[in-house]
Amino acid sequence: MNMPGQTRASTRVRGVLFDMDGVLIGSTAADEQAWEKWAAYQGMQGLFSIQSPHGRRAVDSIRVLRPDLDPQVEVQRLEAFDAESTDGITILPGVQNLLAKLHPSQWGIVTSASDA
């Protein structure tokens, strides 16, 4: 329904690119579990705040939290911990319904997450 003075616009698209986390899925709980496991592995119990890594890339968080460690090695370790479990990963509301309306060739995921 158009209001007086408004016109309708239409757009044709051939495909849609979605970010993954926070758009298609919620994985914060699973990610936090992986960080907690990593912190325990590094002997950082009681010294680590789960808020520390939020808002930046894992490699950057590791550089800040443990500058004495090789960040690339530790990112691989963290990603391995993250891939061990899907507990806490949820499909966000409406995602399945939306994706069911799109042909698989019409959408894709763009993310900074690793393949794991």
Q: Tell me the pTM.
A: 0.73
Region of 5 (left: φ > 0; alpha: ψ -120 to 50; beta: rest) is left
Q: Is the pLDDT of residue 101 over 70?
A: yes
State CA 102 to chain mean position distance: 22
Q: For position 13, what pLDDT does the model report?
A: 85
pLDDT digits (tens, 9 = 90+) for 28-48: 888 899 999 999 999 998 888
Contact in structure between 16 and 106 (CB atoms under 8 Å) = yes
Distance CA 42, CA 60 (A): 17
Is the Cβ–Cβ distance between 9 and 101 less than 8 Å? no
